[in-house]
Amino acid sequence: MLELLKSKILVSDGAIGTELLKLSNEKNPEILNLKKPHLVERLHANYINAGADIITTNSFGANPVRLKDINIYELAKTSAQIAQKVKTENKFIFGSVGPTGLKPNDKKFKNIDAYFSEQICGLNDGGVDAILIETMIFIEEMKIAYKVARTETKLPIAVTMSFHLTKNGFQTYGGADLKSSIKAMLNLGAEIIGANCGNGFSEMTILVEKLKLDAKEAFIMIKPSAGIPKRINNDLIYPDAPDKISKFVEKFVNLGINIIGGCCGTTPEHIKVIREIVDKTTQKQKAWAQ
């Protein structure tokens, strides 16, 4: 996969959590791997049909802090096995590892390497192609997750942090600024670094410009959310609809990102648009180069 990234932009899938929440009342979408695996499988298939090269396991919150009395290793392994069912040639599975929800000064924080180990070993044994440590807001937690992934597997590792734009620039909700976060991601030695979630497609273009300046030779992955949702009646409406994102996706491609997908609120319809724009823009670039 890393070899392929040298010559090709890969399209990742869109949201898993917000899409599964539309289909079920289960408040932890990871439980659906056990209770209704067909829903998870169908979502993966919808993303592949929309043109995604990468699908992400339904394992974001598979850790003992968020899910009690569950065998985390088995749950994570199952999430990878469900993705395996729809994976076809030249497609890749990224094993999702989200934050535990603990803060570095929480008492239980000292246990998180054991928590990540259960999740990451399950994903590895289920046959994922890479580990994706995503939506990180604390550099300390990201470092621990990374170290576990590096020691427990031989897989390529992507780390992406979640930033929002404040009057002091981009920051995570854990208080880390963009510059020190990029530095921390690079210092880890992750093959792929980047950003996911956050404000939406428009702000992500500003973030990518900054990321690109500092990223050196690491591959860049971004998964913007579909903006900040508004609750209308009982539905969450995300402002960045599929028909509004084309110009931003074109900009990401021209800025030189390597992997693009979507986070909260994005759907297979968004991925269809991203696929089209990525193909169109890279063809244009090739035509200019000749």
Minimal distance, residue 254 CB to Zn ion, in Å = 24
The Cα–Cα gap between 53 and 47 comes to 9
Task: Work out how close the CB of 66 gets to Zn ion at its nearest, in angstroms, rounded to a whole number.
Answer: 15
Q: Which of residues 3-62 bind Zn ion (CB under 5 A)?
A: none
Note whether 135 and 169 are within 8 A (CB): no
Determine if 264 is a binding residue for Zn ion (CB under 5 A). yes
By CB under 5 A, is residue 190 in contact with Zn ion? Answer: no
State in angstroms the smallest separation of the CB of 257 from Zn ion.
17
Query: Considering the rule CB under 5 A, would residue 263 count as an interface residue with Zn ion?
Result: yes
Are the beta carbons of 106 and 138 closer than 8 angstroms? Answer: no
Those residues with Cβ within 8 angstroms of residue 163's Cβ, 6 or more apart along the chain or in another chain: 170, 171, 172, 178, 181, 195, 198, 207
Q: Which is nearer to Zn ion, 96 or 225 (CB)?
A: 225
Q: Contact with Zn ion (CB under 5 A): which of 86, 185, 197, 253?
A: 197
Cα 152 to Cα 146: distance, rounded to the nearest angstrom: 10
- DSSP single-letter state for residue 244: G
The stretch near Zn ion (CB under 5 A) out of 76-84, 88-96, 209-217, 220-228 is: 220-228
Task: Examine residue 83 and tell whether it contacts Zn ion (CB under 5 A).
Answer: no
Q: Residues 236, 242, 247, 251: what is their CA dihedral angle, to the nearest 10 degrees? A: 80
Smallest separation (angstroms) from Zn ion to the CB of 154: 28
273 is written with which tokens?
């648009």
> Which of 152, 203 has the CB closer to Zn ion?
203
136 lines the binding site for Zn ion (CB under 5 A): no
Per CB under 5 A, residues contacting Zn ion are 197, 225, 263-264
